Amino acid sequence: MRIDVITIFPGYLAPLREALLGRAISAGLVDLAVHDLRTWTRDVHQAVDDAPYGGGPGMVMRPQVWGEALDAVLALDERPARIVVPTPAGRPFTQATAQAWSGDERLLFTCGRYEGIDQRVVDDARRRDLTVDEVSIGDYVLVGGEVAVLVMVEAVVRLLPGVLGNPASAEQDSFSDGLLEGPAFTRPEVWRGLAVPDVLRSGNHAKIARWRRDRALERTAERRPDLLAALPEDALDDADRAF
Ligand X SMILES: Nc1cc(-c2ccc3cc[nH]c3c2)n[nH]1
CB atoms within 10 A of CB 213: 18
Long-range pairs, 127-134, Cβ under 8 A, ≥24: 130/74, 130/81, 130/83, 131/80, 131/81, 131/82, 131/83, 132/82, 132/83, 132/84, 132/85, 133/82, 133/83, 133/84, 133/85, 133/90, 133/91, 134/85, 134/87, 134/89, 134/90, 134/91
92 as an active site residue: the answer is: no
Nearest residue relative to ligand X (C-beta): 112
Catalytic residue among 115, 124, 218, 240: 115
173 as an active site residue: the answer is: yes
How many residues touch ligand X under the rule CB under 6 A: the total is 16
Query: Which residue number, 5 or 179, has a Cβ lying nearer to ligand X?
Result: 5
Binding mask 137-176 for ligand X (x = CB under 6 A): xx-xxxxxx--x----------------------------
Query: Which residue number, 156 or 217, has a Cβ lying nearer to ligand X?
Result: 156
- Alpha-carbon span 214 to 211, nearest angstrom: 5
43-57 in b/e form (b: 16+ CB < 10 A) is eeeeebbeeeeeeee
- Alpha-carbon span 142 to 111, nearest angstrom: 11
Cα-based distances in Å from 27 to 1, 21, 23, 24:
12, 10, 6, 5
15 as an active site residue: the answer is: no
Query: Which residue number, 144 or 182, has a Cβ lying nearer to ligand X?
Result: 144
Q: State yes or no: residue 88 binds ligand X (CB under 6 A).
A: yes
Query: Which residue number, 86 or 178, has a Cβ lying nearer to ligand X?
Result: 86
Q: State yes or no: residue 200 binds ligand X (CB under 6 A).
A: no
Shortest Å distance, C-beta 83 to ligand X: 14
Shortest Å distance, C-beta 210 to ligand X: 37
115 as an active site residue: the answer is: yes
Shortest Å distance, C-beta 138 to ligand X: 5
Residues in the site for ligand X, rule: CB under 6 A?
A: 86-88, 112-113, 116, 136-138, 140-145, 148
Name the residues annotated as catalytic.
88, 115, 158, 173
